[in-house]
Amino acid sequence: MTQHPVIFIDGEAGTTGLEIRERLATLPVRLHSIATTHRKDPAARQDAMAAADLVVLCLPDAASREAVDMAAELGEVAPRLLDASTAFRTAPGWVYGFPELSEAQAAAIASAPRVSNPGCYPTGAIALLRPLIDAGIMDAQYPVCINAISGYTGGGRSMIEGHERDGGPAFELYGLGLEHKHVPEIHLHAGLGRRPVFVPSVGHFPRGMIVSIPLHLDDLTGGVTVDDLNTVLAARYAGQDKVHVVPKDAGLSAEGLAKSDRMELRVHGSPRHRQAVLTARLDNLGKGASGAALQNIALMLGLSA
């Protein structure tokens, strides 16, 4: 009989953990769970880690760091790790779990002992920026500004309860101190030489996200046009299953890909004014979190998602 690989989700009862568990039903794997009453018991968690081929960490950053230490204590029987938190996304020794990042990335994820799952906003921002930097169209010193809106499920249990129990603001800017935890990850993996300005916002809808990046074409290299931007992105993601470059729309609803694990990229703009806006639309819980985790799990275990 075929032995299916064993997965333990540390933090299985949280928002991200539950979404990953649901998606695992589509893969030939065996889920190893611990009783809810023991879910924070270090000994029970370490035993579960020892029994697993792959541990998916769906914990707050501090708990994730502790879990990584606990796994390392297991020495030769230490499992491979996929971490959903922000803790290791720019850390040495970890492979960034965005398979579409470059031609080599999916193979790097497939063989890595430790993979960090990308943040929701960076997924959109990096997908739009990295191909332009790689193609030499955008200088690494370009002063990038990124706007984004997320559904309230991006804020985890406390924000979800706030919006669903008390009703939340229809639209709220936050992170205005410009220290959002996703900036280092975007800065590094997009290949930017200069720290981007990032202005996130949250709306009173559960899931969905748009990341948008306005550009002055005259500040890019080589007289680039709106159509050139589209050509570069379309070539970069041709044949990808989860990331698609699609025609521009007159408007764009953030909820258009709710409950999907795909991401849509668009190039909007005015050739006359030499200005463009790049957009990425995704579900913050889909390609922005658990959908990406499922892609990474499948790659790490040599399965097709």
Ligand X SMILES: NC(=O)C1=CN([C@@H]2O[C@H](COP(=O)(O)OP(=O)(O)OC[C@H]3O[C@@H](n4cnc5c(N)ncnc54)[C@H](OP(=O)(O)O)[C@@H]3O)[C@@H](O)[C@H]2O)C=CC1
Ligand Y SMILES: CC(=O)N[C@@H](CCC(=O)OP(=O)(O)O)C(=O)O
Catalytic residues: 120
Kindly tell me which residue out of 54, 81, 120, 254 binds ligand X, with binding defined by CB under 6 A.
120
Q: Which two tokens stand for residue 114?
A: 């430790």
Contact predicate 84/16, CB 8 Å: yes
C-beta closer to ligand Y: residue 131 or 155: 155
Polymer length of the chain: 305
CA–CA separation, 153 and 207 (whole Å): 6
Q: Which two tokens stand for residue 208?
A: 């969905």
Residue-wise DSSP of 111-156: H-SEEEPPPHHHHHHHHHHHHHHHTTSS-TT---EEEEEEEGGGGH
C-beta closer to ligand X: residue 42 or 143: 42
Kindly tell me which residue out of 79, 97, 119, 168 binds ligand Y, with binding defined by CB under 6 A.
119
90-123 burial, b for 16+ CB within 10 Å, e for fewer? eeeebbbbbbbbbeebbebbbebebbbbbbbbbb
Kindly tell me which residue out of 52, 57, 120, 220 binds ligand Y, with binding defined by CB under 6 A.
120
Residue 15 as a binder of ligand X (CB under 6 A): the answer is yes
C-beta closer to ligand X: residue 200 or 288: 288
Contact predicate 32/6, CB 8 Å: yes
CA–CA separation, 41 and 47 (whole Å): 10
15: partner contacted, choices ligand Y, ligand X, none (Cβ within 5-8 A by kind) = ligand X
58: partner contacted, choices ligand X, ligand Y, none (Cβ within 5-8 A by kind) = ligand X
Kindly tell me which residue out of 200, 269, 288, 291 binds ligand X, with binding defined by CB under 6 A.
288
Cβ neighbours, 10 Å, residue 24: 20
Residues 67-86, one symbol each (x = binds ligand Y by CB under 6 A, - = not), give: -------------------x
Tell the smallest beta-carbon distance from residue 86 to ligand Y (Å). 4
Residue 212 as a binder of ligand X (CB under 6 A): the answer is no
Report 255-294 residues binding ligand Y (CB under 6 A): 284, 288-289
Tell the smallest beta-carbon distance from residue 158 to ligand X (Å). 7
Binding region for ligand X (CB under 6 A):
10-11, 13-17, 39-40, 58-61, 63, 84-86, 117-120, 156-157, 288-289
